Amino acid sequence: MATKLWDKGQQTDKMLETFTIGRDQEMDLFLAPFDVLGTLAHIRMLTEIGLLNSGELSLLQAELKTIYEDILKGGFRIEEGVEDIHSQVEVLLTRKLGDVGKKVHSGRSRNDQVLVDIKLFLRQEIREMAVLSHRLFQALLEQSEAHKQVLMPGYTHLQVAMPSSFGLWFGAYAESLSDDMLLLQASWEMANQNPLGSAAGYGSSFPLNRTLTTRLLGFNDLNYNVVYAQMGRGKTEKTLSFAMSSVAATLSRFCTDACLFMSQNFGFITLPEELTTGSSIMPHKKNPDVFELTRARCNKIQSLPNEITLLLANLPSGYFRDMQILKECLFPALGELKSCLEMLIFMVPRMGINTHILDDPRYQHLFSVENLNERVLQGVPFRDAYQQVGQEIRTGTFKPRTEVHHTHEGSIGNLCNQEIARKMGQTMARFSFEKVDQALTALTRLGNND
């Protein structure tokens, strides 16, 4: 039995075969359940247009759902000598059902088959990433509310600048994630369009019903133009890589702050001993390895858009094998970013906060702007007040008042966390998770042929 969908009976050089397949079998295991889902939708459509009869549909559905369950249980593999996930599924169908299994590829190409697999896979990955990002957002906002009265130094140029608070610090990263979510939502919208039926990029002479497969798979819309559907290979991945890079940048920056703030020279935050690591020769060490490794992994993820951009550079319209390497760049990175999110969801609520940072006299100049502004409110021109406070600092006569009176939106005394939560909530509401769940549940329900 041929194990390549394009096999025409001529032997391929083994060295060439090994090189061209590369890591595709490994990467295709990510796509396995989605290849079955795409095939389930495709055979329903083939039955409607008369290329399968109802008996054949029932046989194929039952066997595909058996394969699907095997994948979900972890028992599925791509056999030795089988080129990819598409070939493996068709091999299993043909092995069990004979000629009926050979009919499932009518009206499609491996090009649109892998496209729909990737879109379904990325849609699920974006969903998981969005849910994790939202959970981290909530953890940050909870810490912001819990510690909104605790002042800390704010820095510019790593020099003591003005009063900040832990409410501001945690809340800043929460709002950063709310902007990152906009990019994830855009990626979702791009992934949530159906390319199935574009075949090799030029459509099919079969009277395909692409609207039906769009509905069956829970897509919001179609990639209508069949040439663009193929050109879109890589575009969804590239857009998602920018969203991932944005989330990663937020996490990386938070981790750098956390590493600094845990150092003895700052002493702003602590971690329980069981959440730190030690030194082989220094018994006092409590190292923030989780934050350091999260930062490193996230910095690596920030290179992803460049990798994908260069892979796609100078490609004309149509399909090219270059696109296969996109999976090797993107798929492992998805798991890495989700693991970083999961770790910070675990770590953030367990961070201890130093509530007496500003008792240290090194921060006495932190309130210079507060005192300057107070003089301005009393009628002193700003530039004169600035000179007065500057002179007092130089002569050592500055005696700061340490009260802060910030009331405007987003300041120490008015964090606007509810408004930040509203922005995040509005973005999350635009994901059509429920529609997808309903469609895929119906598609995989045995005996559902409507």
Q: Compute the average pLDDT of residues 57-84.
A: 93
pLDDT tens string 173-184: 999 999 999 999
Do 385 and 280 share a structural domain?
no
Q: Is 154 exposed, middle or buried (0-12, 13-18, 19+ CB in 10 A)?
A: middle
Do 355 and 370 share a structural domain?
no
Do 92 and 170 share a structural domain?
no
Q: Give the domain CATH number at 54.
A: 1.10.275.10
Task: Give me the amino acid identity at 354.
Answer: N
273 is a domain residue: yes
Local structure of 341: helix, strand or coil: helix
Do 324 and 241 share a structural domain?
yes
In this prediction, residue 93 has a pLDDT band, given cuts at 50, 70 and 90, of: very high
Do 335 and 192 share a structural domain?
yes
Do 18 and 137 share a structural domain?
no
pLDDT tens string 127-145: 999 999 999 999 999 999 9
pLDDT at 7: 56
pLDDT at 27: 78
Number of domains in the chain: 3
Contacts of 217 (CB under 8 A, 6+ apart): 37, 38, 41, 116, 120, 194, 196, 439, 440, 443
Residue 8 in this model has a pLDDT that exceeds 60:
no
Please check whether residue 129 is in contact with residue 338, taking contact to mean a CB–CB distance below 8 angstroms.
yes
pLDDT at 1: 41
Do 332 and 268 share a structural domain?
yes
Do 383 and 325 share a structural domain?
no
- Domain range for 353 is 111-150+165-198+222-359+416-433
Please check whether residue 386 is in contact with residue 369, taking contact to mean a CB–CB distance below 8 angstroms.
no
pLDDT tens string 229-285: 998 889 999 999 999 999 999 999 999 999 999 999 999 999 998 888 887 788 888
285 is a domain residue: yes
pLDDT at 186: 97
241 is a domain residue: yes
> CA nearest 201: which of 112, 119, 116?
112
Do 307 and 368 share a structural domain?
no
Do 291 and 238 share a structural domain?
yes
Q: Give the domain CATH number at 258.
A: 1.20.200.10
Model pTM above 0.75: yes
Do 295 and 173 share a structural domain?
yes
Q: Is 380 exposed, middle or buried (0-12, 13-18, 19+ CB in 10 A)?
A: middle
209 is a domain residue: no
Task: Give me the amino acid identity at 209.
Answer: N
193 is a domain residue: yes
Do 122 and 56 share a structural domain?
no
pLDDT tens string 145-172: 999 999 999 999 999 999 999 999 999 9
Cα separation of 340 and 72, whole Å? 24
Residue 15 in this model has a pLDDT that exceeds 80:
no
Least confident window among 20-24, 354-358, 413-417: 20-24
